[in-house]
């Protein structure tokens, strides 16, 4: 495994660990933002600070059994990682975001605005073709590389 593939696998394993902190009833999602081999910020899917854990009723959508609906108050993992960096005064320019799931378009816009140039993910939720065309067009125009981690690189090994 080449060095980049090893790093991608290594940081994806960290994103998997971060995902265990998710308090959403729908899905475990984690993200880690890295530059020059150093972790800058992490985030997981969950209710905002002060709202209370999603699993304990913090999110009306999850309480109603309708995750990802318009009443969902959960903050996505990538956005939480960006906000974590902002709270701690960390610049993200030129960084890579590793996420357990492909960032949604809103998160991709936030990653772009934060200066992140690459997003690596393992799982992609099904999307309609129109959404995917808009997504790919935006990523291309914004100069952000969005890459799936190949299944063969899903286990951490030695470089």
Q: Which CATH class is domain 3-153?
A: alpha beta
At residue 1, does pLDDT exceed 80? no
SS3 151: helix
At residue 152, does pLDDT exceed 70? no
Report the relative pairing of strands 30-35 and 38-44 from DSSP bridges: antiparallel
Give the residue extent of every domain in the chain.
3-153
What H or E segment, with its residue span, contains residue 1? none
Active-site positions? Answer: 78
pLDDT-derived band at 154 (thresholds 50, 70, 90) equals low
* Averaged pLDDT of the chain: 89
């Amino acid at each position: 495994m080449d060095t980049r593939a090893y790093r991608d696998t290594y940081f994806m394993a960290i994103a998997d660990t971060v995902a265990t902190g998710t308090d959403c009833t729908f899905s475990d999602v984690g993200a880690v933002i890295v530059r020059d081999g150093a972790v800058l910020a992490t985030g997981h899917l969950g209710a905002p600070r002060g709202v209370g854990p999603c699993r304990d009723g913090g999110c009306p959508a999850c309480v109603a059994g309708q995750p990802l609906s318009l009443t969902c108050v959960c903050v996505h993992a990538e956005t939480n990682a960006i906000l974590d960096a902002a709270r701690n005064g960390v610049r993200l320019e030129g960084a890579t975001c590793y996420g357990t799931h492909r960032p949604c378009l809103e998160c991709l816009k936030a990653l772009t605005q934060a200066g992140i140039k690459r997003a690596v993910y393992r799982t992609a939720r099904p999307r309609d073709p129109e959404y995917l065309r808009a997504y790919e067009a935006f990523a291309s125009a914004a100069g952000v590389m969005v890459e799936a981690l190949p299944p063969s690189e899903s286990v951490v090994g030695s470089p």
